[in-house]
Homo-oligomer: A and B are copies of this chain.
Amino acid sequence: MPHINLPNEFPGIRSLFMFRPETAAPLNALVQTLLHNPHPTLSAGERELIATYVSRLNTCKYCCNIHGAIAQHQLGNKPEIVQQVLVNPETAPISSKLKALLKIAAKVQSGGKNVTEGDVALARAEGATDIEIHDTVLIAAAFCMYNRYVDGLATWQPDDINLYDKMGEQRAREGYLTPPFKVVGSAQ
């Protein structure tokens, strides 16, 4: 049961956005900018993979499932890419540059000071730009916020994987600024 009185027809962070629209606006604008808006070099799918991986490291079921579903839709419906990144990015079918960026993301998740010059040099050797390194650090840091927000208030996090797929399809298509659909028949 959530720690505060949240609307029970919206799961995860969406229930918090309904509860507090004042903070929902900048939180949605941030994730829209980081993950959905056009980027000079990183695809939306690659950025969603970073968010999904960090959410898994923080063991946030809602964020990992929903961003994994969005990533899958952004990456041409190949669930094996998301699944393999979650098991081990090193052996996943992704670019060496993205592997190096995911290493930086994991360091950020464990604490900002853990990112070393060596981590950054490795990413640069694989072709990463300043913008890509910056955005990777900020995506990882932002999901250390979103994950704590969702879990810290004990929001409702459904088990039904088909529901995440449906929500993920909507977000992959529309981005983060449109209203969510209600989950009919939900119960907490």
Contacts and interface: CB of A to CB of B under 8 A. Distances in A.
17 contacts: A3-B117, A3-B133, A4-B130, A19-B134, A20-B131, A22-B37, A23-B30, A25-B29, A26-B33, A27-B30, A29-B29, A111-B151, A140-B148, A140-B152, A141-B148, A141-B152, A142-B145
Contact of A130 (B5, B26, B104, B113): B5
Interface string A113-151: 101010010000000001101110110111011111111
Given A16-B134, A30-B30, A133-B4, A152 B22 contact: no
Given A19-B134, A23-B33, 11 more contacts: A3-B137, A5-B130, A20-B131, A20-B135, A26-B29, A26-B33, A111-B151, A115-B153, A115-B154, A141-B147, A142-B145
B3 A150 contact: no
Nearest to A149: B141
Interface residues of A, number: 49
